[in-house]
């Protein structure tokens, strides 16, 4: 397959979820929906990728998306005091969501051992309710890691909010309220089962996490 490029929802299913906002249209028009051969942050391969940096490079667009997700968070009855977005990709989306909710924004980042940790003086009060924010989730792995950081710091995970949900069954992954602005249903495969690789294609890694060394 050729190099990555902007794609619409053909070959996949995009469901707008945020109240009063056409998130699917915003993602398409901002060039966030890419088609090609990609390595996702989970390590799985896919012919589709959601580049959330595209809409979030424009503050006015980021504000619209964040307000839509904030409305969904409130509708779900989630009342956080803090929004935590894992670095690097969720720092700005998490900040914008916190701004829309009127709460504090912090982020976790990977330490030298590769694990997420709170640094830069970020702390949580005992029992402080924290909403974990992600830009995109495919398996939920990074969200679970961020939840572990919150709990280790003494906070309480009030829920998980994501702008683009690609998890087939979030209820099987998370034990807290889960709120998504948009759901995308695109195929993905374990690297060793990727049909694009078998056809001789080479995957690119557009996300912020380094690709695994083979």
Peptide bond into 88 cis (omega under 30): yes
- Give residue 138's pLDDT: 83
pLDDT, mean over the chain: 88
Q: Identify which has the larger pLDDT, 4 or 156.
A: 156
Residue 209: pLDDT band (50, 70, 90) is low
CA distance 8 to 26: 11
- CB-hemisphere CA count at 13 Å for 127? 0
- Give residue 213's pLDDT: 35
Strand partners of residue 180: 162
At 70-82, the pLDDT tens digits run 999 999 999 999 9
Mean pLDDT, residues 108-124 taken together: 95
CA distance 54 to 52: 5
Specify the pTM: 0.81
Q: Identify which has the larger pLDDT, 133 or 17.
A: 133
Helix (H, G, I), strand (E, B) or coil at 102: coil
Mean pLDDT, residues 13-37 taken together: 78
Pairing of strands 178-185, 156-165: parallel
Best CATH choice for the domain 5-198 from the list 3.40.50.300, 1.10.10.10, 3.40.1350.10, 3.40.50.2020: 3.40.50.2020
- Give residue 69's pLDDT: 97
Structure tokens at 13: 């299913």
The distance in angstroms from the start CA to the end CA of the chain is 22
Q: Residue 5 pLDDT more than 50?
A: no
Domain boundaries, given as residue ranges, for the chain? 5-198
Helix (H, G, I), strand (E, B) or coil at 69: helix
CA distance 119 to 160: 21
Taking the CB of residue 182, how many other CB atoms lie within 10 A of it? 25
Mean pLDDT, residues 175-196 taken together: 94
Mean pLDDT, residues 28-41 taken together: 92
Per the CB < 8 A criterion, the answer to whether 6 and 34 are in contact is yes
Contacts of 205 (CB under 8 A, 6+ apart): 38, 39, 211
- Give residue 110's pLDDT: 94
Q: Rounded to an integer, what is the distance from CA 211 to the centroid of its chain?
A: 17
């Amino acid at each position: 397959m050729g190099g990555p490029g902007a794609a619409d929802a053909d070959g996949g299913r995009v469901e707008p979820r945020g109240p009063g906002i056409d998130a699917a249209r915003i993602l398409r028009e901002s060039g966030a929906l890419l088609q090609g051969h990609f390595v996702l942050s989970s390590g799985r391969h896919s012919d589709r990728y959601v580049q959330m940096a595209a809409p979030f490079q424009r503050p006015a667009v980021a504000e619209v998306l964040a307000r839509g997700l904030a409305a969904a968070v409130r509708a779900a009855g989630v009342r956080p005091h803090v929004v935590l977005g894992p670095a690097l990709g969720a720092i700005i989306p998490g900040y914008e969501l916190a701004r829309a909710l009127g709460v504090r924004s912090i982020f976790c980042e990977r330490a030298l051992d590769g694990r997420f940790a709170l640094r830069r003086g970020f702390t949580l009060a005992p029992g402080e309710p924290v909403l974990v924010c992600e830009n995109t989730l495919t398996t939920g792995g990074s969200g679970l890691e961020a939840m572990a950081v919150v709990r280790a710091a003494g906070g309480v995970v009030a829920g998980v909010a994501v702008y683009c949900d690609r998890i087939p069954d979030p209820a099987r992954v998370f034990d807290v309220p889960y709120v998504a602005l948009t759901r995308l249903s695109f195929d993905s495969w374990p690297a060793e089962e990727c049909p694009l690789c078998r056809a001789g294609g080479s995957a690119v890694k557009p996300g912020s996490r380094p690709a695994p060394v083979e």
